[in-house]
Amino acid sequence: MEILQRGGVVALPTETVYGLAANAEDELAVRRVFAIKGRPATHPLIIHLAGVEALPDWARHIPPEARRLAEAFWPGPLTLVLPRTPRATDAVTGGQDTVALRVPSHPVALDVLRTLGGGLAAPSANRFGRVSPTTAEHVRLDLGDDVDLILDGGPCTVGVESTIVDLSSGAPAILRPGGLAAEELERVLGRPVPVRASSTVRVSGSLASHYAPRVGVVLVEPSEAIARAESLRLQGLQVGVLGPARLALPRDFVRFDIPEDAAGAARLLYLRLREADMAGLDVLVACLPPAQGLGLAVRDRLARAAAPRTPEA
């Protein structure tokens, strides 16, 4: 806590992924977060709050639908984009008139937030463009001595980043599918909440090649996985397969099993991508889950992992 009050940078667990946290009102500390991540200053950060009652300190206009979502899903894997108050500085928002806010549900994060009493600006605790960390060990491997402290709260239970919903103007829209299913949002709001493919705001997760492991990734439907893996192997490549345990894979392939249910797949996805990276493969054949529930977020992250690298990432 003292570290954060003095302007330090602390990696801490949330239920989604580990975050790299700084006092949101300390501009120097926030700039250090950008520097450690290697992230362009124009890509805004999420401010984490201790509870829904802090919302008016940071958002100057709270539409009824935002309040309903906050009350239904906070603490939890939901981020709301709303018009900001001056407390949300340019350093955090990248100069935009909106701010991204969320209340995480991990007890360690909540504990820190309650003691600090303010907001914590925290992106995922990985280098820009790489796979997000879901254990303290991942953070250590990625960022090591660059951070002042790493709090270990065990493996993240959700495993993919929060769902970002824009409620800053007009109808709600999903800017990034994540750990809260679209169906859940729709159930509470009683109307469709579409995914907005392109927006004028800079969502770094929307860069095509974000969340990229180093190994090349090929996307397939589960029914095509074995045939595709075979044909890649015949080209002389070392092939791994990421998919459900029921796949009857020949022994020539390194397998990375993920659960069949979408929530289970989300929880283990980044761990498996890291394992695949370390296995010295030429290519990873990745099975797409159905696009329901958290399957939407898993498909989104796999698609980014498979996208060609851009210099920016």
* C-beta closer to ligand TXA: residue 36 or 232: 36
* C-beta closer to Mg ion: residue 138 or 228: 138
Q: Which of Mg ion, ligand TXA, none binds 202 (CB below 5-8 Å, type-dependent)?
A: ligand TXA
Count of alpha carbons within 13 angstroms of residue 14, beta-carbon side:
36
Binds ligand TXA (CB under 6 A): choice among 6, 202, 214, 309: 202
* C-beta closer to Mg ion: residue 16 or 168: 16
Query: Which region among 13-21, 64-72, 271-279, 285-293 touches ligand TXA (by CB under 6 A)?
Result: 13-21
Structure-derived torsion over alpha carbons of residues 185, 188, 193, 199, reported in degrees to the nearest 10 = -60
User: Alpha-carbon distance 162 to 10, whole Å?
Assistant: 19
Q: Which of Mg ion, ligand TXA, none binds 44 (CB below 5-8 Å, type-dependent)?
A: ligand TXA
Q: Which of Mg ion, ligand TXA, none binds 293 (CB below 5-8 Å, type-dependent)?
A: none
User: Alpha-carbon distance 220 to 260, whole Å?
Assistant: 15
Does residue 124 interact with ligand TXA by CB under 6 A?
yes
Peptide bond into 75 cis (omega under 30): yes
What are the distances in angstroms from CA 276 to CA 183, 237, 246, 268, 286? Answer: 31, 14, 19, 12, 11
Binds Mg ion (CB under 5 A): choice among 96, 124, 162, 163: 124
The amino acid occupying position 271 is: L
Query: Which region among 122-130, 148-156, 248-256, 259-267 touches Mg ion (by CB under 5 A)?
Result: 122-130
Structure-derived torsion over alpha carbons of residues 301, 306, 307, 312, reported in degrees to the nearest 10 = 70
* C-beta closer to Mg ion: residue 42 or 292: 42
Element (H, E) at 220: strand 216-220
Please give the residue ranges that form the binding site for ligand TXA (CB under 6 A). 14, 16-17, 19, 43-46, 79, 81, 93, 96, 98-100, 104, 122-124, 161-162, 164, 175-176, 201-205
Please give the residue ranges that form the binding site for Mg ion (CB under 5 A). 124
